[in-house]
């Protein structure tokens, strides 16, 4: 959903500069060209998931991509609060304050762009994993190619991720999940399903991925909605 433009957007984005890199700019290339594992979230929303991941794994690098300026601003401002550069503003609700998490977050950057082709952003085999959390469902059949799990996009992710790396997908949307499983099956030559469940937060589900949640996931889980989840491994070498 399109967010209304934040007040003082440009000024506030400029204040977050230390947490951002810019598409097509040397800053992004320099950050991504690293010896550590590099993990990317496409459509990071307000950032809770990727901030928690980065705080828990300081030995890896994380890049959070978000197309909407106002939304990436909220995520970057959240990162500033987590690393103690600013206090939590009054207008951030209690459940969105990540008060138990504290880290320098030198291993996380945000980039404001809508991902179209992976080759516009990354090199072949540059990434160790990709997270797609609660991606826009694009429910109309004529918009199927816009879904982030459309087969051509999955193939582009497989190109950007190293052999043995992964793509993890979570969604509340049953239609998008069914479509995603079909698209994964179409890419069986490069993708192997490792984990799959229609109820990630069921008591008997032991997948690690239930431990770090997104804002959408918390909201849907609290309302009793099941969370669909699939993890695929990139399998290029036959
Ligand atoms: C439904 S929200 C989910 C946000 C977050 N992942 C969560 O689970 O709380 C989807 C987000 O993905 C962003 N988005 C959609 N398509 C994108 C693309 N191609 N590149 C980058 N961001 C995208 C949207 O702007 C939106 O903020």
Query: What pTM was computed for the model?
Result: 0.97
Q: CB 194: neighbour CB atoms within 10 A?
A: 13
Q: What percent of the chain has pLDDT over 70?
A: 99
Low-confidence ranges of the chain (pLDDT < 70): 1, 238
Ligand 1 pocket mutation pick from 51, 53, 64, 66 by most atoms within 8 angstroms of CB: 66
Domains and CATH numbers, the chain: 10-234 (3.40.50.150)
Q: From the CA of 238, how far away is ligand 1's center (Å)?
A: 33
Query: pLDDT of 90-124, one tens digit each?
Result: 888 888 889 888 899 999 999 999 999 999 999 99
pLDDT value of residue 4: 82
Q: Is the CB of 177 under 6 A from ligand 1?
A: no
Q: Is the CB of 118 under 6 A from ligand 1?
A: no
């Amino acid at each position: 959903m399109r967010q209304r433009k934040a007040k003082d957007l440009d000024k506030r984005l400029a204040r977050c500069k230390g947490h951002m890199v810019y598409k097509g700019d040397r800053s992004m290339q320099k950050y991504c060209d690293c010896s550590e594992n590099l993990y990317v979230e496409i459509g990071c929303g307000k950032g809770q998931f990727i901030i928690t991941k980065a705080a828990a794994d300081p030995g890896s690098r994380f890049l959070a991509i978000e197309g909407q300026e106002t939304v990436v601003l909220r995520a970057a401002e959240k990162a500033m609060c987590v690393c103690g550069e600013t206090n939590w503003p009054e207008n951030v609700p209690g459940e969105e304050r990540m008060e138990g998490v504290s880290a320098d977050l030198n291993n996380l950057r945000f980039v404001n762009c809508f991902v179209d082709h992976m080759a516009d952003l990354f090199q072949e085999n540059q990434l160790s994993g990709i997270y797609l959390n609660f991606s826009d469902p694009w429910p109309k059949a004529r918009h199927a190619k816009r879904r982030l799990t459309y087969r051509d996009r999955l193939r582009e992710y497989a190109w950007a991720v190293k052999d043995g790396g992964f793509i993890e997908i979570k969604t509340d949307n049953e239609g998008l999940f069914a479509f995603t499983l079909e698209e994964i099956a179409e890419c069986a030559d490069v993708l192997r399903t490792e984990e799959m469940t229609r109820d990630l937060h069921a008591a008997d589900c032991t997948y690690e991925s239930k431990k770090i949640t997104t804002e959408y996931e918390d909201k849907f889980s609290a309302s009793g909605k099941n969370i669909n989840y699939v993890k695929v491994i990139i399998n290029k070498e036959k």
